[in-house]
């Protein structure tokens, strides 16, 4: 048997073994590995969500008017409650304030709230959650079953971005960034920390409108530093 074929067969056998072990280990073990609970979150910023959203609105109107113009009108409390009922979840007070501020960004917009990160309208969040909960394949249960409770708040268009988990508290990292390909998380102790970081990114020109006025650019080293200062980063394959 040729050597490369042996290697391929061994690799396939190992992958199959990992899947079998993960299935037998049960959902709780799978969830704790692929979606751990963060430790050592930084302090929550002092401003209220409403104060931060007012500052963010003013910052966008000054520094990124194309983003401000792409935001949809906010929802009423009654509309939010109806969507919560339809989706089978409850938002935190901070998330309710976010959707009262604006109900995401228009589908045809060329910009996101951050570069490549579209702020998803709550009705789309509900529809996406319903589709996620219909998934039942073994591979999905093992490698993505932990995502069933997540709500996609900012979407990069490839399934990653910023999420809110209504089954966790703020102290457990309910709001976070996730990049699945490398198992990378950044947990925030509150939505307020994330909003504070967005404001500072725009004010410091770490995120800015490009010369054509139609898209955003960012200094990733600086934006990642804001995230590190305000949240807790980890890869699931590494230790704390």
Q: What is the pLDDT of residues 31-84, one digit of tens each?
A: 567 899 998 899 999 999 999 999 999 999 999 999 999 999 999 999 999 999
Task: State whether residue 222 is helix, strand or coil.
Answer: helix
Among candidate residues 185, 177, 180, the one with its CA nearest the CA of residue 158 = 180
Task: State whether residue 64 is helix, strand or coil.
Answer: coil
* Confidence category of residue 139, pLDDT binned at 50, 70, 90: very low
pLDDT in tens, 146-171: 778 999 999 999 999 999 999 999 99
Q: What is the reported pLDDT for 238?
A: 43
For residue 167 the two structure tokens come to 């089954």
Residue in the structure block whose two tokens are 């925030």: 188
Mean pLDDT of the region 215-240: 79
Percentage with pLDDT > 90 across the chain: 61
* Angstrom distance (rounded) from CA 147 to CA 238: 20
Greater pLDDT, 169 or 11: 169
The residues, any chain, with a CB within 8 Å of residue 216's CB and separated by 6 or more, are: 64, 67, 111, 112, 114, 115, 207, 208, 209, 210
- Strand order of the β-sheet with 118-119 is 118-119, 151-155, 161-164, 175-179, 184-188, 232-235
pLDDT in tens, 123-134: 999 999 888 777
């Amino acid at each position: 048997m040729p050597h490369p074929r042996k290697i391929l067969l061994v690799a396939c056998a190992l992958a199959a073994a990992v899947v079998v072990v993960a299935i037998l280990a049960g959902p709780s073990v799978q969830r704790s590995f692929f979606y751990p609970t963060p430790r050592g979150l930084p302090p929550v910023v002092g401003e209220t969500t409403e104060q931060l959203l007012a500052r963010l609105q003013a910052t966008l109107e000054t520094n990124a008017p194309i983003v401000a113009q792409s935001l949809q009108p906010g929802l009423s409390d009654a509309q939010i409650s109806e969507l919560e009922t339809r989706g089978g979840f409850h938002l935190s007070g901070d998330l309710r304030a976010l959707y009262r501020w604006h109900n995401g960004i228009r589908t045809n917009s060329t910009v996101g709230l951050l570069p490549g990160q579209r702020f998803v309208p709550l009705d789309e969040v509900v529809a996406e959650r319903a589709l996620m909960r219909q998934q039942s394949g073994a591979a999905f249960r093992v490698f993505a079953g932990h995502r069933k409770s997540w709500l996609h708040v900012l979407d990069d268009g490839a399934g990653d971005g910023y999420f809110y988990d209504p089954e966790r508290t703020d102290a457990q990292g309910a709001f976070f960034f996730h990049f699945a390909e490398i198992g990378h998380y950044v947990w925030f102790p509150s939505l307020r920390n994330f909003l504070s970081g967005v404001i500072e990114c725009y004010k410091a020109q770490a995120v800015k409108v490009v010369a054509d006025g139609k898209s955003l650019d960012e200094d990733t080293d600086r934006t990642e530093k804001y995230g590190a200062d305000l949240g807790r980063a980890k890869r699931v394959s590494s230790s704390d």
